[in-house]
Amino acid sequence: QVPSLNRPDLLRQACYINGRWQPAGASSISVNNPASGAVIAAVPNLGRKETEEAIAGAQAALRPWSAKTGKERAVILMKWAQLMLKHQQDLGALMTSEQGKPLAEAVGEIAYAASFLEWFAEEAKRVEGDVFQSPKAGQRLMALKQPIGVCAAITPWNFPAAMITRKAGPALAAGCTMIVKPAEQTPLTALALAVLAEEAGVPPGVLQVLTGDAREIGGALCDSDVVRKLSFTGSTEVGRILMRQCAPTIKKLSLELGGNAPFIVFADADLDAAVDGIMASKYRNTGQTCVCANRIYVHDDVYEEVLKRLTAKVQGMKTGDGFGAGVTQGPLIDGDAVKKVQEHIADAVAKGAKIVTGGKLHALGGTFFEPTIVRDVTHDMKFSCEETFGPVAPIFRFKDEQEVLAMANDTIFGLAAYFYTRDYARIWRVSEGLEYGIVGINTGIISNEVGPFGGVKQSGLGREGSKYGIDEYLELKYLCIDLG
């Protein structure tokens, strides 16, 4: 069950279309608590018709919203951020109920999510164009930045709040309107955010949240000429589908897709710091983030020592219901997630890797999985090419910098990479050599609203957060003025 909330009205089992709350009709989708499997709510199962209605609403709302000053939009976004913080505990509790992550992580995500609204509220006031020197006398050349128009966001379940504000924040700041389709597993957090957006004064049609059939809603959003931009966070596989579906209308795209992050521990690293970094990067959200370390490369000289220290920490973690005291590992999101983790472990063991700790379903049952370490992992195993998305640390061995750099880059993905060293020249060499959009150096936590987040290669297109994030929602218009 959803725990009692200070603001019970934050639990909505209705979609937010055009400023209206539309309850489920004949058809609904149920929301489960992954810790117990219990159904905790039901939200509307909407499709193409309602999506088209939402698109029309977003189009109607566009002109008045984009005509507001940046400062006016900033005031509303800031209010939205403040409301999120005011109701941080309730929002965290809703998130833990539908997503499973430990309550402290969920409450932390709400602050992280609100930081994008705050940041982009500030950026709304700084959308600036340019004046150029003309190569021809008597002319003036300029570039204006204008909102791209109606935007859509399709978001995943692993960060049910932050993946929405990271898109809606810059979109609304820029003067765009946005339709959000949250993941079917975690609609309650998304709908609660819409309640607070409405309360903050976001006008009808400017932000809408639709739940239902991903293919139908996604299809209608992609097919529309009115929707000028799609921002998606999710799997590379679905990213490819959406990119293809957006080709006929030449939509602008932001894609935050899968990763397979290398995490390199050089022999000169501060080993305790490196182990803390592995813990943070690998086991946060029970290993279910796109920037989670997926391949941990440890130098031969320190391999056994790192394993020893890491094992002690991993064995000290508490797995359980996200509401339980001291729990740092929640359940996996669903049965498929468990199957994938089991598959990766079985594949590695069959090829000669050894389980150091964990390795199987947790005694709690359901989708709880033991925090796991696998040693003697090599590049012929699934860990090296697929995203595991679970609490499993596969430990590879390496001998020199060139070798590990080549292994780290040997993937279609390019989202986040991490390394630990105390050699400052190596910091530069390796940072420049890693083919990744984000590099954590002597840290396992890299996400915040200020840094540009995004991947290269098949991990995606575009950047979110940072001073660059708002550009994804702006078009440049070049003005060439002849003074005659």
Q: Which residues are catalytic?
A: 256
**CB nearer to ligand ADP: pick between 76 and 238:** 238
| Nearest distance in Å: CB 405, ligand ADP | 29
Of the candidate residues 183, 220, 345, 405, the single one contacting ligand ADP (CB under 6 A): 183
**CB nearer to ligand ADP: pick between 246 and 267:** 246
Of 48, 41, 1, the residue nearest 23 (C-alpha): 41
Residues 238-257 that bind ligand ADP (CB under 6 A): 238, 241-242
Distance between CA atoms of 116 and 77, rounded to whole angstroms? Answer: 10
467: Cα within 13 Å, side-chain hemisphere: 4
CA torsion through residues 300, 303, 304, 306, sign: positive
| Nearest distance in Å: CB 241, ligand ADP | 5
Residues 255-284 that bind ligand ADP (CB under 6 A): none
Which range of residues in 137-145, 176-184, 367-375, 472-480 is near ligand ADP by CB under 6 A? 176-184
Q: If binding is defined by CB under 6 A, does position 184 make contact with ligand ADP?
A: yes
**CB nearer to ligand ADP: pick between 17 and 290:** 290
Distance between CA atoms of 280 and 288, rounded to whole angstroms? Answer: 12
Phi then psi for residue 392, to 5 deg, are: -125, 125
- The helix/strand/coil state of 72 is helix
Q: If binding is defined by CB under 6 A, does position 235 make contact with ligand ADP?
A: yes
Which range of residues in 29-37, 180-188, 407-415, 429-437 is near ligand ADP by CB under 6 A? 180-188
Which range of residues in 20-28, 112-120, 213-221, 268-276 is near ligand ADP by CB under 6 A? 213-221
- State the DSSP string of 310-365: HHHHHHT--BS-TTSTT--B---SSHHHHHHHHHHHHHHHHTT-EEEE--SB-TT-
Of the candidate residues 13, 155, 328, 372, the single one contacting ligand ADP (CB under 6 A): 155
Distance between CA atoms of 19 and 207, rounded to whole angstroms? Answer: 8
Distance between CA atoms of 94 and 191, rounded to whole angstroms? Answer: 10
**CB nearer to ligand ADP: pick between 157 and 398:** 157
Of 190, 113, 119, the residue nearest 154 (C-alpha): 190
Which range of residues in 89-97, 102-110, 232-240, 376-384 is near ligand ADP by CB under 6 A? 232-240
**CB nearer to ligand ADP: pick between 243 and 355:** 243
Distance between CA atoms of 426 and 432, rounded to whole angstroms? Answer: 10
Binding site for ligand ADP (CB under 6 A): 154-156, 181, 183-184, 214-215, 218, 234-235, 238, 241-242
